Structure 1
Amino acid sequence: MQLRWTASTWFWTLFVLRPARPSADRPAGVSPPAAQHAPTVAVVGGGLAGLTVVHRLLNPGARLAAQGVDADGDAAPLNARVVLLERDDRLGGKILTESFDGFVVEAAADSFLARKPWARALAEELGLGDELVGSEPGWPRAFVRRAGALVPFPDGLTGLVPTKMGPLWTSGILSPLGCARVAMERWIPRRTSDRDETVASFVRRRFGSELYERLMQPLLGGLYGSSPEQLSIAATFPVLVQAERESGSVTRGLRVQARPESTGGPRPGAPFLSLRGGMGRLTEALEASIESAERLQILRGTTVESVRRTPEGWTIDIEGRSPLFVSAVVITTPAPLAARLLVEHEDLVAALRRIPFTSTSVVTAAYDSANFPRPLEGHGYLNPLSERRKVAGITWSSRKFAGRAPAGRVLLRGFIREPHLPPAGPEGDARLLETLAEELRDAVGLEAAPQWWRVFRWQNSMPGYTLGHLERVRMIEDRVEALPGLFLAGCSYGGVGIPDTVRSGEQAATRLMDHIATRRA
């Protein structure tokens, strides 16, 4: 059976909504900053980046304290009123976890890279250290389709490229000729041009077309939601560019970078981390850390129409409310929405609009483990474009992390992206389920209907770091720097994962605090 789900229904029924502090007959606007004793700053967007910005503004010394460092006066909270504006009736953005009947269901991201420190450090700072869990051990962790069959990913993938030839030879993913071409990588001359290059071009040039088509393309498409034929290697995997530039060979350079003496120590443990109750615990803890602050006003269900520069600072036009006058503003929405808010600044808008976004749907379903003709292996599998499948990949959620489903049940997620997305609505959701069922039948022989299923649609949710992305970001940063008091954060610019989004929010908060301090000085 289908448990019907819509964003508005679940947001209202699963979350306790905190009303905005101004009443309907009292405007949300405040006097221009010059007329106030303490400045007002605004954060537009209450997703992970926005919550991180607000948390850091209100608790700048919390991370130092969590690390056992005595926070001095430089880490004092920002002496300003903070207004957080969120269009939806809940905070958290694309991080959404639902728990019921022993299932932990992730609507979007289910984990983050352990090797990037920012998300883990924030979780520990928020008191969630004991709730951190690693992905389940075992090998292989993932599979890839090859001529219809599921083949294990070979051991020795570092930075998404093979550094061990033995497992690659025996995996059966590449032909002997393809493996020989990979082995030749260390003798391929390094590229001398500094111009940006697509991921596809980089991998083909260094490792050959076969490795790209059968292994790298499904991995990269799954991570970024865009074709590697368009993705920028410098923006997505700068470590590979650095390895080639410094060592003349990617595999040789990655081995050097992986040595304990070159990285400050080994990197033990699981490659992915999550939280025992799901990733929603992170945004819940962030919300709990800020909601009682006297200097904070949270305006949920609030649509920002524009953000305009004024002689005193910035004016935020809000649908159905009086304007909000602030000294500084951080916009954490996706780049296309930020462009609509900053329409008066044509050069900045043009640069923001050049960052493309794609849509995706996540179909989650639960089955009895006895429905599967053979035991599942690994954490899931990916489909290369050459397999001509509508589903980009499948995650066995109940195998990837412990405690995601009751005993004897299998919880899984299928990812379906453009151009295979039907229109939104019950009929479109049913078509998505049919697509998932067809995929599971062909891949693992599953014939049974799910015990329950849900569809989570994310419209224009994944930024594409296409060729020239870093130059576009530099252009955006130059335009923003010419507009004192404006800051941007989020996954549109410097990293799509949870750790990079956290880092983006913290950097924006630091720049905002420096801006306020400079104005006072």
Structure 2
Amino acid sequence: MRLVVIGAGIAGLSAAIEAARGGIKEIVVIDAESRAGGKIHTLHRDGKIFEAGPDAFLRRNPVGLALVESLGLTGNLTAPSASSALLYASGQLHPMPRELAMGVPTDPIAPLKTTSVPILSRLRASVGISIGLKGDPSTDSLGYLCQRRLGRRFSELVVDPLIGGINAGSVFGSSMELVAPQLGSALTAPPIGPTKLLRRSVGNQKIRMAPTVPVFGSLSGGLSELVEAMVAELCALGVQFKFQTAALSMEKFGERIRLHLGSNDGVESELDSDMVVVAVPSGPASGLLAGLSKVASGRLGQIRYSSVALTVLGFRGVRNPLPAGISGVLSPARERTLTTAVSIASSKWPSWAEPDELLLRVSAGRMADQRFQNLDDEDLSELISKEASRIVGLPTVCDPTFTKVIRWHDALPQFRPHHSALIASARSILADETGSKVAIAGAYMYGSGIPASISSGIRAIGDLKPN
């Protein structure tokens, strides 16, 4: 019984581990790149590390922690040293009130403290919460529910930079179920009377005083430690890896699936398998599935992606101008900056930087703003350096002593309303038309973040039904 996993990112590796631990003996993992991990990529510089992709995973989803524990990496867990964000508006920095849940206020007082928003928009949000304005949650539109509850301007200036920035998109046109399901109750809560407001205010004080576990986690040697541990276990279990090998197409071949492969040096080959997990982005996956199920292929072809660029800037001998505990600054789309977010990496992850170094990770690119693609790396880094310096308040004469630009093309899937129904349809049709011999996995399936990708790999193995 042979299983082929196409894609050695975190979803594909999770599928392979699930299958190998479940007793499947012959597993082949193929990937067009020369390494495993996909967008998880820890880079090194002068004995320090930094992340070229995600820098942490959400601990609230137990799947990530469970994988870390199963690989014996629990002792390497670490958490950000700073976690509070500021908002950049009209050339000034504004604190984000602690009462906001992912940018969404849950009581009428919190919007009034949000100084990055004009006073009339703050009042509109406060009134919406007080009288219980709400939309129909069956629309699954996060932007619509936020706008109905809080008003358009508050949603644009506070909620959108925080939530939309997660996948370089926007809350307007995003699925609440997948992007921020925990906000459903806050956005549809009944009116708040004075007694309930007082009770909630006291409750919030108690919550803020209570010790909390870290929201995000990483590993002391970087997230590539997770990838390396997964590859090591898979190799020990006899899993074969074929890097620099792309899957070109698939077709039914008797009771099996035939894969047509191409190596980076132009050599083509065939590989027959009893089962296949396609763990690549939805665009390539759509192309691979075209020979097996045109309908499932068409479903995946509807998913859109945003491209992003990450610029890492190091400033030696420069003091961090922001208060302690600040992990970064968010810039709303209304500001029209190329920069969408500035992460103060030397505060968030002190081990990444030298003692006298300010290290920034600056994100650029939104679904509706791809201006960075018109700039080469030199021009992009120069513009981003000046813009980020202005946003965080560095002297204009500061020049970075370290610069690295990382570009991720079609990196972040956009989860539009009712995305879950689209994925469920694709999975069902693919199972019917391939006899459950082919399954899909990837970051585009069940929401943003590493745990969601891990879950997709595990669920893909559950979707397969060997003869």
Task: Give TM-score, length-normalised by structure 2.
Answer: 0.88
Shift of the alpha carbon at 1:107?
0.3
Matches within 5 A, 1:237-276: 237-241=180-184, 247-248=189-190, 268-276=212-220
Please name the residue that 1:153 is paired with. 96
Shift of the alpha carbon at 1:44?
0.3
Please name the residue that 1:487 is paired with. 439
Please name the residue that 2:359 is paired with. 411
> Cα deviations across residues 25-61 of structure 1 (Å, max 9, x unaligned)?
xxxxxxxxxxxxxx111100000111111112122xx
Please name the residue that 1:470 is paired with. 420
Q: Which has the higher strand share?
A: 2
The residue type paired with residue 477 of structure 1 is R
Please name the residue that 1:52 is paired with. 14
Please name the residue that 2:409 is paired with. 459
What 5-or-longer segments of structure 2 have no aligned partner?
204-209
Distance 1:106 1:268 in 2: 26
Distance 2:138 2:321 in 1: 52
Shift of the alpha carbon at 1:178?
2.8
Distance 2:453 2:151 in 1: 33
The residue type paired with residue 7 of structure 2 is G
The residue type paired with residue 19 of structure 2 is L
Please name the residue that 2:386 is paired with. 438
Shift of the alpha carbon at 1:101?
1.8
Matches within 5 A, 1:260-299: 268-294=212-238, 296-299=239-242
Please name the residue that 1:27 is paired with. none
SS in 2 for 1:150: strand
Please name the residue that 1:389 is paired with. 337
Shift of the alpha carbon at 1:269?
1.4
Please name the residue that 1:218 is paired with. 161
Please name the residue that 1:422 is paired with. 373
Distance 1:153 1:369 in 2: 29
Deviates more, 1:403-412 or 1:364-373: 364-373
Alpha carbons 1:102, 1:405 under 8 Å: kept? no
Alpha carbons 2:307, 2:370 under 8 Å: kept? no
Distance 2:168 2:191 in 1: 28
Query: CA 1:478 to 1:161, structure 2 compared with 1: closer, same or farther past 3 Å?
Result: same
> Cα deviations across residues 145-195 of structure 1 (Å, max 9, x unaligned)?
121111111102224412255454334123443333323325235444733
> Cα deviations across residues 403-449 of structure 1 (Å, max 9, x unaligned)?
111211121111111422235xxx70011112212212322134321
Distance 1:500 1:490 in 2: 8
SS in 1 for 2:329: strand
The residue type paired with residue 508 of structure 1 is A
Query: CA 1:250 to 1:498, structure 2 compared with 1: closer, same or farther past 3 Å?
Result: farther
Please name the residue that 1:144 is paired with. 87
Shift of the alpha carbon at 1:100?
2.8
The residue type paired with residue 435 of structure 1 is L
Please point out which of 208, 212, 218 is paired with 2:151. 208
Please point out which of 320, 323, 326 is paired with 2:273. 326
Matches within 5 A, 1:31-42: 39-42=1-4
Distance 1:410 1:226 in 2: 28
Deviates more, 1:408-417 or 1:373-382: 373-382
Shift of the alpha carbon at 1:249?
6.6
Distance 2:253 2:247 in 1: 17
The residue type paired with residue 366 of structure 1 is G
Q: Does 1:348 align with 2:310?
A: no
Please name the residue that 1:128 is paired with. 73
SS in 1 for 2:230: helix
Query: CA 1:510 to 1:267, structure 2 compared with 1: closer, same or farther past 3 Å?
Result: farther
> Cα deviations across residues 294-320 of structure 1 (Å, max 9, x unaligned)?
3x2111110110122233121111112
Distance 1:134 1:374 in 2: 20
Alpha carbons 2:340, 2:363 under 8 Å: kept? yes
SS in 2 for 1:144: strand
Task: Give TM-score, length-normalised by structure 1.
Answer: 0.79
Please point out which of 71, 76, 83 is paired with 2:28. 83
What 5-or-longer segments of structure 1 have no aligned partner?
1-38, 60-76, 260-265
Distance 1:490 1:242 in 2: 28
Please name the residue that 1:117 is paired with. 62
SS in 2 for 1:104: strand
Shift of the alpha carbon at 1:220?
2.3
Query: CA 1:335 to 1:145, structure 2 compared with 1: closer, same or farther past 3 Å?
Result: same
Q: Does 1:378 align with 2:326?
A: yes
Please name the residue that 2:460 is paired with. 508
- Report how many aligned residue pairs link the two structures: 443
Alpha carbons 2:61, 2:451 under 8 Å: kept? yes
Distance 1:193 1:136 in 2: 36
Distance 1:164 1:404 in 2: 38
Query: CA 1:192 to 1:99, structure 2 compared with 1: closer, same or farther past 3 Å?
Result: closer
The residue type paired with residue 96 of structure 1 is H
Name the % identity. 25
Shift of the alpha carbon at 1:211?
1.6
Shift of the alpha carbon at 1:109?
0.1
Please point out which of 308, 328, 351 is paired with 2:251. 308
Shift of the alpha carbon at 1:375?
6.4
Shift of the alpha carbon at 1:208?
1.4
Distance 2:430 2:268 in 1: 27
Distance 1:237 1:474 in 2: 19
Please name the residue that 2:139 is paired with. 195
